[in-house]
Amino acid sequence: MSDKILYANRNLKLRITSDLLKAIKFKQMKKILLLLIFCIAFTGTSIGQEWFTSFDVAKRMALAQNKMLFVVWEDSFKTPYYVQVKDENGKSIYVDVTQNDEVNNIIWDYFIPVLMPEDEYGDLYNKAKELRGELYLSKLEDASIKIMDVNGNILNKNFSVEVFDDLPSLIKWYSFDTTFLSPFLRNYLKKENFNTTFILGSKYLDYALFSKKEMRTEIVELAGVYLKESRNYLGDLENENAFSQKLDFFEIKKLLVLNNPKKAKRLLKRIEVSEVDKINKPLLVFLNYTTFIMLKDEENVALWRDKISETNLKKASLIFKAYN
């Protein structure tokens, strides 16, 4: 066995000689390793149908495939678990996910399915209670389907169902391609600090602009969770007050991403320019310029146009075009 590496998972045995390992290119090896992780995380032998039972491994696969997590508490599958789907005639029917391979395959096409172990609840709850409200905590606790990002934050907390989860609607609204967010999600998973948390929140704000209008509120809310969390690390920074002010300014940016320039204007009026830290002055210019172009106030737009950088001008244009 000295010249071989043995990977095993019940009926799965894959032997790779050391000579072959040297011959495999890095990208090919990465794919093989991901496949092995994928296989090992299952509890059954039917790989095409079984859900992940390891949250950590599911997160890695979600990152690799740029998908959201499709999460149900593991105890929920001890009895039939019904979801609403459409038949070939467009009629709503109810199927048991635990027994229907076709529906499972559809879920796999759009998400990474996870049977969340009950022992993960404590960590998820303790983190959520500091940042989220009662509605979110109720969603975390119940037996419904939760669409999560790789950090365990639920996106569909506002998604209401009468009895059973509506699978076509979950696919329509929440089957995101997270390629844009991928490097920032990875950095956050590696190490949580002010930079990784703040940047991820800001990138979720940008991501909201590329998403369906109906989804922007929930994505911006998720961005706000990371921005709020980043305040926990302000004490680690030399210029704590400046970055605290930056986070205050990002509350105004959230309003602009949600097409609420009137409220943004009211908040901007309260700011004393003399009290703005130099690192935040470009951001203040951006907020004012964007607010006035969204309000189509050409007179005030002209006052800020010469002060805004080319990069921020493009960002302002992106927000404006999202609603015009």
Residue 85 near residue 168 (C-beta atoms within 8 A): yes
The verdict on 186 and 315 lying in the same domain is yes
Longest Cα–Cα distance in the chain: 78
Q: Burial level of 201, CB count in 10 A (0-12/13-18/19+)? A: buried
- Check which CATH number belongs to the domain holding 88 and give it: 3.40.30
User: Which amino acid belongs to residue 11?
Assistant: N
Tally of structural domains, the chain: 3
pLDDT, residue 159, reads 60
Helix H or strand E encompassing 298? helix 298-305
Distance CA(294)–CA(314), nearest Å, equals: 14
User: Which pLDDT does position 27 carry in this prediction?
Assistant: 40
Is residue 109 domain-shared with residue 158, that is, in the same domain?
A: yes
Structure confidence at residue 17 (pLDDT): 34
| Residue 249: CB atoms within 10 Å | 17
Q: Are 143 and 83 a contacting pair, CB within 8 Å?
A: no
Same structural domain, 22 and 55: no
Kindly report, residue by residue over 145-201, the tens digit of the pLDDT. Answer: 999 999 999 999 876 555 568 899 999 999 999 999 999 999 999 999 999 999 999
Asked if 4 and 16 count as a contact pair (C-beta separation under 8 A), the reply is yes
Confirm whether pTM is higher than 0.85: no
Do 91 and 60 lie in a common domain? yes
Domain identity same for 99 and 68: yes
Alpha-carbon distances of 71 from 75, 150, 152, 210, rounded to whole Å: 12, 11, 9, 24
Range of the domain at 159: 42-174
Q: Are residues 239 and 165 in the same domain?
A: no
Q: How far apart are CA 259 and CA 214, in angstroms?
A: 12
- One domain, residues 303 and 192: yes
Give the 3-state secondary structure of 33-98: HHHHHHHHCCCCCCCCCCCECCHHHHHHHHHHHCCCEEEEEHHHHHCCCEEEEECCCCCEEEEECC
CA distance 166 to 93: 10
Phi, psi of 8 (to 5 degrees): -135, 140
Considering the domain architecture, whether residues 25 and 49 belong to the same structural domain is answered as no
Measured at the alpha carbon of residue 67, what is the angle toward residues 84 and 83, in degrees to the nearest 5?
10
Ranges of the chain with pLDDT below 70: 1-49, 159-164
In the three-class reduction of DSSP (H, G, I as helix; E, B as strand; rest coil), residue 308 is classed as coil
Q: 289, 301 in Cβ contact below 8 A?
A: yes
Same domain flag for 169 and 192: no
Residues 317 and 186 in one domain: yes
Q: How confident is the model at residue 165, as a pLDDT?
A: 85
pLDDT for residue 55:
94
Tens of pLDDT, residue by residue over 283-295, are: 999 999 999 999 9
The two three-digit tokens of residue 139, written as one number: 């969603």
| 197 and 114, same domain (yes or no) | no
Rounded CA-CA distance 95/167 in Å is 10
Clarify whether residues 35 and 52 are in a common domain: no
